[in-house]
Amino acid sequence: MHPTPRVAEDAGPAAAAAAAAAVAGAYGALRSGAIVVDRSDRSRWRFTGPRAAETLTGLVTNDVLALMPGEGLYAAALTPKGKIVADLRIFRDDDGLLADTGPAAAEGWRAMARKFVNPRVAPFAEVSERTSDTGVFGSRAAELLSRVFETDANAFHQLQPYSHVRARLRSSSEDVTVVRAAELGEVPGFDIIAPAQITDELRAGLGSIGAVAATRDLFDIARIEAGFPEWGVDMNEDTLPQEANFDDLGAISYSKGCYVGQETVARIHFRGHVNKMLRRVRFNADAVPPRGAALADEAGKSVGAITSAALSPRQGGVGIAMVRREVEAGATLIAQWGSEQTDVSVA
């Protein structure tokens, strides 16, 4: 993955400079104000019924049964061999549970839900078409939300990752769900999950008070800075949860009941370790390694590969890589692709 500004090859230097300036401007807003990102390509499912939480707990790595209304969590759905089918956010409210995942993982999760969830026990429906997801990220995100909703900024500030509140739009008295997002690490962020018909009104309201519209490319730069993995890019159905740092991300419970793929996850945790894991890396901004670029140590031994890379207006070359466990923090590796190479520093 290489989320630099998307400009047609024949657009010329002026268009390229304009695109770079747009990314830099949105990045500045992320650090000093707030950006708005369309995240509606995430797929959303609603689970209801008295056994909905029990059913989902049996499908994912985290303890859905422990959630109270207003709380949420991050989790993985796995193959029977313990590999990641999808990464999920799951939110509990008074009416049931809402689960969402990224676009690349949606089909795998859809198939798994249809296979394992009995709709007579835990009715479920995909609600992606009826809802939208508007991301608001930045140092002033909570403040701007308080000007759009009838909710004090402190209520948004106090939300823990994946927890959520119902909030009412000042302009139309419509209720939406505001979720504390975690993908950008220390950068405050929220997802507004709303009825699709009010999306334009919502985003126009945010823009009118200073939130800057940003592309997914800009969001990816910030995600990579934070080291947060994306399914289909940094992890897939060949990845174990511990390889994707799901322990550090709070996405695995070792005390709850059984779930699909649990045996492998538990065996790694209690008896062994993984041989590779995702790590943040830095590199010279003059040479951005593409996704899949091979990583070798100073002796020429293969030790991993780049999974995401980007040019950050603030940090320069940043990336995520799957690297062998024995590579120490601070080590310098060589990224190679085609006839090109660049030094990479491991965080």
Using 50, 70 and 90 to split pLDDT, how confident is the model at 7? very low
| pLDDT score of 14 | 76
Reply yes or no on whether the pLDDT at 263 is more than 90.
yes
The per-residue pLDDT for range 8-62, each reduced to its tens digit, is 344 567 776 777 788 888 999 999 999 999 999 999 999 999 999 999 999 999 9
pLDDT tens digits, 128-177: 999 999 999 999 999 999 999 999 999 999 999 999 999 999 988 889 99
Q: Give the pLDDT band of residue 1 (cuts 50, 70, 90).
A: very low
Is the pLDDT confidence value at 5 over 70? no
What pLDDT is attached to residue 211? 97
Q: Where are the domains of the chain?
A: 25-40+131-224, 275-347
- The reply to whether 275-347 shares the fold of 25-40+131-224 is no
15 to 5, 6, 10, 110, 280: CA distances (angstroms): 10, 10, 9, 40, 31
Q: Do 128 and 44 meet the contact criterion of CB atoms below 8 Å apart?
A: yes
224 has pLDDT over 80 = yes
Topology of 275-347 in CATH? Elongation Factor Tu (Ef-tu); domain 3 (2.40.30)
Q: Say if residues 234 and 35 touch (Cβ distance below 8 Å).
A: no
- Which tens digits make up the pLDDT trace of 86-120? 999 999 999 999 999 999 999 999 999 999 999 99
- What 287-292 contacts at long range (C-beta under 8 Å, 24+ apart), as own/partner pairs, is 287/317, 287/340, 287/341, 287/342, 288/2, 288/4, 288/317, 289/319, 289/335, 289/337, 289/342, 289/344, 290/2, 290/337, 291/1, 291/2, 291/233, 292/337
For position 16, what pLDDT does the model report? 65
What 3-state class would DSSP assign to 310? Answer: strand
Q: What is the mean pLDDT of residues 225-236?
A: 98
- Are 65 and 82 in contact by the 8 Å Cβ rule? The answer is no
Q: What is the pLDDT of residue 11?
A: 54
> What are the tens digits of pLDDT across the range 274-330?
999 999 999 998 889 999 999 999 999 999 999 999 999 999 999 999 999 999 999
Rounded to two decimals, the pTM is 0.93
Superfamily for 25-40+131-224? Answer: Probable tRNA modification gtpase trme; domain 1 (3.30.1360.120)
